Structure 1
Amino acid sequence: MLITDTAAIVTGGASGLGAAAARALASRGAHVFAVDLPDAVAKAPVVDGVTYTVADVTDADQVQTAVEQAAGARNPLRIVVNCAGIAPSARIVGRKGPHDFDLFRKVIEINLIGTFNVLRLAAAAIGQTEPDQQGQRGVVINTASVAAFDGQIGQAAYAASKGGVASLTLPAARDLSSSGIRVMTIAPGIVDTPMLATISEEFRAGLAESVPFPKRLGTPDDFAQLAVNIVEHDYLNGEVIRMDGALRMAPR
């Protein structure tokens, strides 16, 4: 599918994986609507071809407004990349007692329900566009994590949320096939995003050494490159791609 002269939605688009995906799509001629929370949007750099839109992915009305903005652009809405998410850590039973129930609910609500909220509303809008010569209308790329398969100690909530995103991939692709919409998921390994900004260089080097090859942390640009490849590769559908340098996470 061609990226040039399309509209795209990227959630979590003001930083990290989302910002890299937004830049990559815009550089290839898409008009990107980068959706994020107010504080993140306020700090986001100006990027040609990227329009920042404030919305909480768990809020149906706010997401609908963002989708209508993208769908009302000059170019047809064809692309969605869901990157919004959080990654807190807590044991099921820790020193302070059982896992905070509201925290677990919040992680599921943002990472899984928020992803589905954007998927359903954006797919409805994409389905109203004219198909291309191959009958394609668009592609939705969701973001899981290797934690969906190799969840570590303290990652019960995060792994459960990302496992849900991974499991959503195939039924969503099947549901939307009649509309000419593909659904794919990327499961990144250890990626050098703002979430890792507070760790020491020594610990960062240890993380890189744990990757079989290449022995480095992933980058947001790695993610963006894969997202672009998925958009352009019409026969990729209903699959989760691990982007992790063959890493398999240890228990801790």
Structure 2
Amino acid sequence: MQIDGTAAIVTGGASGLGAATAAALAKQGAAVYALDLPSVLADAPAIDGVTYVGTDVTDPAQVEAAVAQAASGGAPLRVAINCAGIGPSARILSKKGPHDLALFRKVVEVNLIGTFNVVTLAAAAIAQTDPLENDARGVIINTASIAAYDGQIGQVAYAASKGGVVGLNLPAARDLASSGIRVVTIAPGIIDTPMLATVSEEFRAALAAGVPFPKRLGLPSEYARLALSIIEQDYLNGEVIRLDGALRMAPR
């Protein structure tokens, strides 16, 4: 599928993986609608071809309005990429007591329910576009994590939410096949995003040393390039792709 001349939605589009992906799509000629929380958009960089839309992905009304805006901009909406997510850590039992249920619920709500909300509403709009070759209409890319497979100590909420995204992938691809919409998930490893900006260089070096090859942190631009490749490869569907340098996480 060609990217040029289409519209695309990217959640979490103001920073990290989302910002890199939004910029890459715009560079390829897409009209990009970058969804993120209004509080985050205040610091978002101005990028030609990217329109920022204040949106809470867990709010159906806000997502529906954002999808409607993207679908009515003049270019057919054919791409939706879910990068929005949070990753607080807490153990099931710690010195502070049991894991806070509200925190667990919040992580699942943003990472899993928010993803499903965007998948559902974006798919409804993409399904209304004119079919391309082989009745293709578009593609949805979700973001899981290697924590879905190798969750570490303190990642119970995050790993559970991302495991849900992995579990969502194949049935979503099968559900949307009749509408000509592919679904693919990327499971990144340790990517150099703003979430890692607050840790020390020593800690970053230790993280990089644990990656089999190449021994470095991943880059948001690498996620973006993989997303572009997925969009263009029409036979790639229902798959979860690990982007992690062959890393398998230790317990801690």
Scaled to the shorter chain, the TM-score interval is: over 0.9
Give me the whole-angstrom Cα distance separating, in 2, the residues matched to 1:218 and 1:131: 35
Amino acid across the alignment from 2:205: A
Amino acid across the alignment from 1:178: S
Q: CA deviation at 1:133?
A: 2.2
TM-score, scaled relative to structure 1: 0.99
1:39-78 alignment runs, 5 A limit: 39-78=39-78
- Map of 1:213 onto structure 2: 213
- Map of 1:247 onto structure 2: 247
Structure 2 unaligned runs (5+)?
none
Counterpart of 1:43 in 2: which secondary structure?
coil
**Paired residues, what number?**
252
Amino acid across the alignment from 2:72: G
Give me the whole-angstrom Cα distance separating, in 1, the residues matched to 2:46 and 2:198: 25
Q: CA deviation at 1:40?
A: 1.1
1:7-156 alignment runs, 5 A limit: 7-156=7-156
Give me the whole-angstrom Cα distance separating, in 2, the residues matched to 1:181 and 1:73: 20
Amino acid across the alignment from 1:203: F
- Map of 2:166 onto structure 1: 166
Q: CA deviation at 1:134?
A: 2.4
Q: CA deviation at 1:4?
A: 0.3
Counterpart of 1:182 in 2: which secondary structure?
strand
Following TM superposition, where does structure 1 have runs of at least 4 consecutive aligned residues deviating by more than 6 angstroms?
none
Amino acid across the alignment from 2:44: A
Q: Percent identity?
A: 71
Give me the whole-angstrom Cα distance separating, in 1, the residues matched to 2:81 and 2:170: 16
Counterpart of 2:134 in 1: which secondary structure?
coil
Task: Identify the range of structure 1 (170-179 vs 35-44) with the bigger mean alpha-carbon deviation.
Answer: 35-44
Q: CA deviation at 1:73?
A: 1.1
Counterpart of 2:238 in 1: which secondary structure?
coil
Structure 1 unaligned runs (5+)?
none
- Map of 1:198 onto structure 2: 198
Give me the whole-angstrom Cα distance separating, in 2, the residues matched to 1:46 and 1:241: 30
Counterpart of 1:145 in 2: which secondary structure?
coil
Counterpart of 2:42 in 1: which secondary structure?
helix
TM-score, scaled relative to structure 2: 0.99
Give me the whole-angstrom Cα distance separating, in 2, the residues matched to 1:18 and 1:40: 12
- Map of 2:186 onto structure 1: 186
Counterpart of 1:80 in 2: which secondary structure?
strand
Give me the whole-angstrom Cα distance separating, in 2, the residues matched to 1:215 and 1:61: 43
